[in-house]
Amino acid sequence: MKFNVSSVPQTVINGILESSIVGVVPAINLVKQILKFAGSEEYKIKLQEEEKIKKEKEKLIDKPKEVVYVTENNFNEALKKYENLVVDFWAEWCMPCKMLAPIIEQLSRENEGKIVFGKLNVDENPKIASEFEVMSIPTLIVFKQGNKVGQIVGSQSKSDLQKQINNMLTGVK
């Protein structure tokens, strides 16, 4: 077998060129790729079902009542679609992120029609996190008309978050 190695590291599973992974990827993505190309048929079916569910979650509705699921696939669309957008950069393993999650859900319901809240998993979407130089999580980035107007790092009380977000969206320092 002959492979054109364009970058290191590059992983090819079982000699299947389509399985090629270039560069460093989160461990979970590597495991999924290995199982996709070397796993059982049952696992491949399960992966297809998970992919369908993910695609459904990625659909952005006009006036969401709940937190939206933001990924590299729909991030730019979300910036264009929602005038006021707050994106929570988080990870499954992050305890402060888990503590912040119910607060984000409450803020989303309380600000329905005014501010849309989204969640972006940094392990599954490293390019967006890198683009916005997210170095610590949880990080909330506040966007107004597609432009970043502020950033909040760390877990805080609901009232403090609401005040900071409102100030960022209205331009109050």
Cα gap 7→22, rounded to integer Å: 6
> Which position among 94, 128, 137, 140 bears the catalytic label?
94
State residue 92 phi and psi, 5-degree precision. -60, -35
Q: Which of 54, 104, 49 is nearest to 74 (CA)?
A: 54
Supply the DSSP string of 97-166, one letter for each residue. Answer: HHHHHHHHHHHHHHTTTT-EEEEEETTT-HHHHHHTT--SSSEEEEEETTEEEEEEES---HHHHHHHHH
Q: Is the per-residue pLDDT at 105 higher than 90?
A: yes
Query: Is residue 3 a part of any domain in this protein?
Result: no
CATH number of the domain at 65, please: 3.40.30.10
Same domain, 114 and 157: yes
| pLDDT, position 8 | 66
Same domain, 127 and 90: yes
Same domain, 159 and 92: yes
Same domain, 115 and 45: no
List the beta bridge partners of residue 145: none
Q: Is the pTM of this model over 0.75?
A: no
Check residues 16 and 127 and name the one with the higher pLDDT: 127
| pLDDT, position 2 | 65
**Which structural domain range is residue 40 located in?**
10-56
Q: Encode pLDDT of 57-83 as tens digits.
A: 777 888 888 999 999 999 999 999 999
Q: Is the per-residue pLDDT at 26 higher than 90?
A: no
| pLDDT, position 24 | 72
**Burial (0-12, 13-18, 19+ Cβ within 10 Å), 58:** middle
> Which position among 87, 97, 104, 122 bears the catalytic label?
97
Same domain, 91 and 161: yes
Q: Encode pLDDT of 32-59 as tens digits.
A: 777 777 777 777 777 777 777 677 777 7
Domains of the chain: total = 2
Q: Is 135 a catalytic residue?
A: no
Q: Is 56 a catalytic residue?
A: no
Same domain, 84 and 21: no
Query: Is residue 4 a part of any domain in this protein?
Result: no
